[in-house]
Amino acid sequence: MNAPALLITGATGPLAEPVVRVLADRGHRLLLTGRNAEKLAELDQRYGSPGVIETFQVDAAQPDGAQQAAARAAERFDGLGGLVHLIGRFGFGPVMLTDIAVYDELIMSNFRSAVVATQAVLPHLTEGGRLVYFSTPLAVEPLAALSAYSAAKAALTTWVRSMAHEVKRRGIHANVVSMTIADTPKMRAERPGLDLDHTVDPALVARAVGFLTSPESDGLYGSVVPVLGKFSYSSVLAGGPPPGVGGPPPGAHTAAARPAAAAPAQAGAR
């Protein structure tokens, strides 16, 4: 029997490919959506196979686009078994230097888009349906200059946990992956000071998605699953752990040299 067909929204970011590989290996049929035609064409060339893995250019953060995406997946695969909602956006800046439009965008992309996509997908789901979302430890332990992103992901996480109570009565599983910064070539290039000890391998995140879309996670409804690699908060005040405890000091493994004074916790969380 085929694994259930899944809609992957926001499939043009760096997490999408590892997720697609894991789910395709498990025999899921996949509809990959995004706004970026060029990136979708690349995905299509690499993974596309009619009736098995297809791409669809649409803005699934908007109600019309999400409805179109869900209907198309259900039509192409003769039913839809779940949603992997990758749409989201990062942003940082002190409150007084952050335009209100940035708040709107981060709430829209990280939280509202999940509501929109879920409303589109839920009518198609039956017993055993799967909904997977992506958050951050900042949603529960926010740091300075990350207020908009942290608040948007906190809204997402709380909303999923509430919604999960509603849909579990129909045997539908809604869960969240909470992850720190993914170690990707793009991230290394953008942030040469990135503390690699605190990042997470996207392939490991993808494996958690494989778990959350499979019967192995049948006991999980409304869970927030931390996939943080070896990330931990560390206190500058305490001077870090004693030598030999807890691995190398934060900052020992950076993508490039960086000033020793940089705050490790801010470097690792996202």
Ligand X SMILES: NC(=O)c1ccc[n+]([C@@H]2O[C@H](COP(=O)([O-])OP(=O)(O)OC[C@H]3O[C@@H](n4cnc5c(N)ncnc54)[C@H](OP(=O)(O)O)[C@@H]3O)[C@@H](O)[C@H]2O)c1
Distance CA 180, CA 54 (A): 29
Interaction mask 131-170, ligand X, x per CB under 6 A = ---x-x----------------------------------
Interaction mask 45-64, ligand X, x per CB under 6 A = --------------x-x---
If the CB atoms of residues 91 and 240 are measured against ligand X, the closer one turns out to be 91
* Residues 49/76, Cβ–Cβ less than 8 Å: no
Q: Which of 266, 164, 268, 260 is nearest to 220 (CA)?
A: 164
Distance CA 148, CA 102 (A): 8
If the CB atoms of residues 107 and 164 are measured against ligand X, the closer one turns out to be 107
Residues contacting 132, CB < 8 A, separation 6+: 82, 83, 84, 85, 174, 175, 176, 177, 209, 212, 213
Sheet holding 28-34, edge to edge: 53-57, 28-34, 3-9, 82-85, 130-135, 173-179, 224-227
How many residues are given for the chain?
270
Cα four-point dihedral sign 123, 127, 129, 135 = positive
Subset of residues 101 to 120 that bind ligand X, contact rule: CB under 6 A: 108-109
If the CB atoms of residues 168 and 188 are measured against ligand X, the closer one turns out to be 188
Min CB(90)–ligand X separation in Å: 6
Interaction of residue 14 with ligand X, rule CB under 6 A: yes
If the CB atoms of residues 135 and 234 are measured against ligand X, the closer one turns out to be 135
Report how many residues bind ligand X under the rule CB under 6 A: 24
If the CB atoms of residues 251 and 268 are measured against ligand X, the closer one turns out to be 268
If the CB atoms of residues 35 and 241 are measured against ligand X, the closer one turns out to be 35
Q: Which residues share a beta bridge with 8?
A: 32, 84
Cα four-point dihedral sign 26, 5, 47, 85 = negative
Position among 74, 182, 225, 265 found at the interface with ligand X (CB under 6 A): 182
Stretch that binds ligand X, among 8-16, 70-78, 123-131, 207-215 (CB under 6 A): 8-16
Distance CA 152, CA 112 (A): 9
Position among 35, 72, 161, 258 found at the interface with ligand X (CB under 6 A): 35
Chain positions contacting ligand X, by CB under 6 A = 10, 12-16, 34-36, 59, 61, 86-90, 108-109, 134, 136, 179, 181-182, 270
